[in-house]
Structure 1
Amino acid sequence: MSAVFSRLAAILFAACLLFTSQALTTPQRATAAEPGYLMVHFTGEGSTNQQMYLSHSTDGVHWNDLNGGGMVLRSTVGTRGVRDPALVRAPGGDKYWIVATDLCIGCGQSWSDSINNGSRNLVVWESTDLVTWSQPWLLNVAGAIPDGRNAWAPEAIWDPASNDYVLYWATNVPLNGATKHRIFYSHTSDFRSVTTPQTYIERPGSQEIIDTQIIEMPSGVGNYRYVRASGDGQITLEGSNSILGTWTALGNLSGIGLTGSQVEGPMWMKFNGTDKWALYLDQYATGGGYMPVLTTDPSNPAAYQKQTSGSYSMGGTKKRHGWILNLTAAEESRVLARWPNTAANRLQSYNFQDRYVRHANFDVRIDPSVSPAEDSRFRLRPGLAGSGTVSFESVNFPGYFLRHAGFDFQLVHNDGTAQFAADASFRQVAGLADTTWSSFQSYNYPDRYIRHYAYQLRLDPITTATGRSDATFRVTT
């Protein structure tokens, strides 16, 4: 009997090992009711790709682009480009911040410029609901660092020891005339002011470090409360029991063939309902974007497993250095409602059919041969004021809508007020000059319609045949 039990035990043990291996390779959602994950990221170089994009996943390894793959936030400050965002949720869940590098490669700034005389600021947005975001502002973090040349790859984590956030980033402070990026940190409670920067991580000699991200560990997993992964020539792992305490070197991922010459931008994600993690790494050397490496113990370099290309999907856009947030059900509902994959359309004039509604310096008119073409593309969102209305959100200035003020039209950032919602909402009705086209009736001035006059967009009462033609448009791709 003992031999039989021993054989059964061995079979069960082998089955458990096989199940554990399969579960790590292809993680599943713990329950169907659990919410998913939100990734904020940029997509590449140039003024359009170096903005904020969002993607969503239900299982943590298969991602879908939100907003039709279009940007969701655009920086209008500093270099007017942003990279490497961190998405910070307040401990109470009542406030959020996106903090990003102020950098626009290929749109007026070279890598040499950004390394040696780059922006010392970070770009910050704030929200109370994860969907309506403030205008961006600049936060000077590196200006007080002697000979600090830039501010890159910000991250932030709540520190219960100081009851505020530890904000950390990379700054080049040259050593013996050569570039040397170190990680600096400051304390902040609101991402509007920071304490005097202090050195956080400095590698010996000429070794640089740029990207690092910390994750807090649950009790009972590994030997440390916090683990950080850093891009410093390797993907180096370190552990500590306090954010600003002593960190212990744990090893790197060279054992699975991943070094800092191949990948960068480490980005943590914990799978819901289970002690499993993904460390996403940006394959910058080959231009491949992010790939996940899975583990059941982030503090143990030997526990990481590379994934085959067929076991994960990153969606339609390239994902570059960002941040992943485990969503609550309420957050997920709001995010998916705010950024569905609504098609981008143009509004073609009925009586000047070579002209389209476009914004130019935030004024609104109809023009032929619009350049850039994105200035004439809008997403017809469910009306901000509700009641069966529509609102026109700009594709290349997301969060900005067509709004009338004094019966003139401008492209304006949504301030979240009821007045803005009313001014930016319209009822789409049969075209006044041709019922196969469309006209747009004001929500708060129902006797007035969107029309062009001398090619400028206005909100007017319509009483003549010319007015009916001016107020008729085709919604077209």
Structure 2
Amino acid sequence: MPSRRTLLTTAMASAVAGAIGAPNAAHAQTYAAYAMAYFKESPDMTDDSYALHLAVSRDGLDWTPLNQNAPVATPTAGMQGLRDPFLLRKQDGTFTVLATDLKGRVFNLNNQYIHVWDSPDLRSFTGYRRVRLHNLATHSWAPTAFWDPSRNRYAVVYSAFNGTRDVFMVNYTTDFVNMGAAQVFFDPGFNILDGDVLVHNGAFYLAYKNMANGNLYISRSATGQPNTFTTLTSGVRQGSAIEAPILVKANGANTFWLWGDSFQPDNAVFYAWRSTDINGNSWTALNQRDYTAPLSSKHAGILPITEAERAALVSRWGAPQWNRLKSYNFPGRFVRHADSVARIDPFPMEPPADQQWRLRPGLADPAGVSFESVNYPGRFLRHSGYAIRLDANDNTTQFAADATFTRTAGLADVAWTSFRSYNVPDRYLRHSGYVLRIDPITASSSATDRQDATFKITY
């Protein structure tokens, strides 16, 4: 059996699984957005949710969680919870959702089943079932799938223990009910985790984690058949620990993204790289300024969708009624309140709701904005002695003015946002020593001052 360290590492797997089929040309030619499926975890378990969540994005980098970041479907059989949800567009344009049959952070090492749903449009989920993949005394973790045209079947790839080491197994199916016999799909001779297959220009690209050194790799096969993959890359990693790679082709561009997830709940951060050559060994790490994953999201699945599908999903499930504010020069930090003091702290943080804000029309001027706490309704960010605090609205004119800000183009980046004080208009909201305050910022102010006063309104 795997070592305890291997099992614990595997247990916190947080891939963003994105293997997709080869959908009909009628679908492929209209892709202009992306959908993501995920479950949730937070450091102290206050935001844990072992159910299916959805988010959408136009650019594949900044994500809008749907249904207020609440589940859209929940397993009712097996362990009655899921990890590692995966989205597949089938050949007929409808969808299948696969997921690991696990709930919480206690892991079943001998579970031969996975969860499956059908969906015509990701607006409803039907046909829920558990399907058995094998009869081995091992698990069935992080299932992904792709269309294999040579077999006229879908390949379901997942992590399992073959009696010697952790490998990828595969089952071939036409309906995700009759799953076929299990066989080894990829075994490079060392423990691996979290396989993800991208089909591009007729070739098959498999991303995986090498458990021996903790790096993510990409391999290629001309046929996609078991044991035909050759590794292309020398391995990448960001952060102290990473796994769960995903390969995504950007819509309408010769750009590829490789995503990875720090699996530790107390350091749950998505990382990403970009390349213009899927066959090469050159991947550039993205700054966290360039992307924002949904709050508390873990081990997600990404696939391209049309703009009409994106709009329909937002219409069905709704966009959040709250926002987060990301720091420009510390993009791993978000504005939050702690003991009534406003500051920027690293994500993730507890409780997660401390970083969620309802952007209200300005209390003193509806053309401005006021920031109401989600978990302390009726309390707003306001300046007092130029420091920013979270205080209860006392309905005075002074409070309304102190709690109102005017949005402007970002002082460090016009695509971002800066906030000028309503009643002290030469001062802007900024962080200093990670604590928020309002300070004068002028044409002669330093680049650092301008960056400190620039934020992204996100989710």
2:233 matches 1:251 = yes
- Pairwise CA distance, 1:141: 0.5
Q: Which has the higher helix share?
A: 1
2-structure distance, mates of 1:84, 1:333: 25
- Pairwise CA distance, 1:129: 2.3
1:222-281 alpha-carbon deviations (Å, 9 max, x no partner): xxx121110122212111111115211212334xx449x721111222211111011111
Letter matched to residue 154 of structure 2: Y
Distance 1:291 1:268, change over 3 A: same
Q: Is the 8 A contact 2:206 2:229 kept in 1?
A: no
Q: Which runs of 5+ in 1 are unaligned?
A: 1-32, 220-224, 345-477
With normalisation by structure 1, the TM-score equals: 0.56
1:374-410 alpha-carbon deviations (Å, 9 max, x no partner): xxxxxxxxxxxxxxxxxxxxxxxxxxxxxxxxxxxxx
Q: Is the 8 A contact 2:31 2:305 kept in 1?
A: no
Letter matched to residue 330 of structure 1: A
**Any residues of structure 2 matched to 1:69-468 within 5 Å, and which?**
69-93=69-93, 95-106=94-105, 110-111=106-107, 114-115=108-109, 117=110, 119-142=111-134, 144-145=135-136, 148-175=137-164, 180-204=165-189, 207-218=190-201, 225-233=203-211, 234-244=215-225, 246-254=228-236, 257-258=237-238, 262-285=241-264, 287-301=267-281, 303-315=282-294, 317-341=295-319
1:317-349 alpha-carbon deviations (Å, 9 max, x no partner): 1221121111123322321111103779xxxxx
SS of 2:32's equivalent in the other structure is coil
Q: Is the 8 A contact 2:64 2:319 kept in 1?
A: no
Number of residue pairs matched by the alignment: 285
SS of 1:156's equivalent in the other structure is strand
Distance 1:135 1:342, change over 3 A: farther
Q: Is the 8 A contact 2:66 2:320 kept in 1?
A: no
SS of 2:192's equivalent in the other structure is coil
**Larger RCO of the pair (alpha carbons < 8 Å, separation 6+):** 2
- Pairwise CA distance, 1:135: 4.7
Letter matched to residue 312 of structure 1: Y
Q: Which has the higher strand share?
A: 2
2-structure distance, mates of 1:185, 1:314: 29
With normalisation by structure 2, the TM-score equals: 0.58
2-structure distance, mates of 1:258, 1:300: 19
SS of 2:241's equivalent in the other structure is coil
Sequence identity (%): 24
- Pairwise CA distance, 1:128: 1.7
SS of 1:229's equivalent in the other structure is strand
Letter matched to residue 292 of structure 2: S
Q: Is the 8 A contact 1:268 1:323 kept in 2?
A: no
RMSD of Structure 2 on Structure 1 (CA): 2.3
1:19-45 alpha-carbon deviations (Å, 9 max, x no partner): xxxxxxxxxxxxxx9631111111127
2-structure distance, mates of 1:249, 1:343: 44
Q: Which structure has the larger Rg over C-alpha atoms?
A: 1
**Any residues of structure 2 matched to 1:54-65 within 5 Å, and which?**
54-65=54-65
- Pairwise CA distance, 1:123: 0.2
Q: Which runs of 5+ in 2 are unaligned?
A: 1-29, 323-459
Q: Is the 8 A contact 1:211 1:232 kept in 2?
A: no
- Pairwise CA distance, 1:312: 1.6
